[in-house]
Structure 1
Amino acid sequence: MGRVVVEKKPTSRLLKRPTRLGDDVYNAIYSQLMSQEIPPGGRIGVDTLVRQLGVSQTPIREALSRLEAQGLVVKTHLIGYSAAGQMNREKLEQLYDMRMLLEPFAAGQTAIRRDENLLKDLEDRDAEMNALPVADRTLAYGRFAQIDGTFHDLIALGSGNLLIQETLARLHTHVHLFRLHFHSRATTDANQEHSRILDAIRARDANAAECAMRTHIQESRNRFLASFE
């Protein structure tokens, strides 16, 4: 009888998908900063976060490095991490003056150039903001700030003007704004204003897009100025 050759199946070498622990830790600290659970200028203890979040120091330090790059966290030699100081009224007014100059123009250009893939991304971000759960308001508020920033970044990208995109990205506008005043109007009113911007971009109506963005920025200015009253 001939020998029976049994063909060995190759050992599976599929890599496991990486966990999202780093993102989860980042989001948890981010939401604490947004809601001022960690107050502006407050010390951020790595060991305290280890106990709170039940993770090792490594993902916490990685998250703090990301937050430092965004200007939300400051690292001081021999002292450690602390939350960045709060924006004052003068800085807020200057930031909105800059936004008013750049973002309506960017929205108009995005409407003219309307890219279907970018429009789909905007619609997805808009849907995410409208669908955020209300069970944990602190976490939802921080997540809204992140998505809102992405929404505006996409519009800047869609304008085709890299200088506008880079300028707005460097300001980390939404990161700092949402720390000023923790309230529901910053999300519910903004969602309605975003819808009008999206409608104008879908219709390729540059004038309507500029107008909708200008109104959104002015209303946002009014909302956040309330923190100084």
Structure 2
Amino acid sequence: MKTLRNTLKALLATSAIATATCASALPAGWLDSLPAWTATASSCSVDESSAGKYEFWLSQFRYLGSNVSGAGSSPFFLPQPITVRCNVTPIYDYVPANPNVFGSTASWISPSWNSLIVGYKDTDGISTKAQVSAALRKVSRATLGESTVATFNSNLSASVVAHEEVKQFNHTFDFQNYDYYVEINLIRADTTVTTPVAYSVRLTNGYVPVIPK
């Protein structure tokens, strides 16, 4: 038993049985549980303000050619991003009232997701000329009111290679009364940096298994 335990610990330490690749910034040993929602960035809807500036290539959403953000018209002249929005498809778990009793009453509930995972490439790391940001948004069907559940900012990481990062959060999903979407924004301040890229986004109940000592 001790040998098996040590083997599992070694596998988790090298991410050999994790869902991410060796280039991933997900915690060592990270696992996703099902059901999960996933989307490629190229399958999402583009904001009309991004027309002519973006391109989809396979799974990727990125700047087209030498296009850059440009300064906005606000008093602060902040760079204007290119934007896609990904609809979160309603998913439900069928959960028994008492999982230890066969045949006990069960009901459909919204999933208990706690992690927003973004697949991206920020070409200048913690510098600000390139950026990938994402926000999980909740929309009230009754009032159209919106609120933000979780946000992600690539400029908090020094990595400049394609990889995944996770933003964990606490939220009780309610698909009966709310719709959800993930908004992805890219900024490329000028042509001294190559285009940042977003290629995937997912919601899952993620965790790092605890191996008994």
TM-score range, shorter chain: under 0.3
Higher helix share: 1
TM-score normalized by the length of structure 1: 0.24
Which protein, 1 or 2, shows the higher relative CO under an 8 Å CA cutoff with sep ≥ 6?
2
Task: Determine which structure has the larger strand proportion and give its number.
Answer: 2
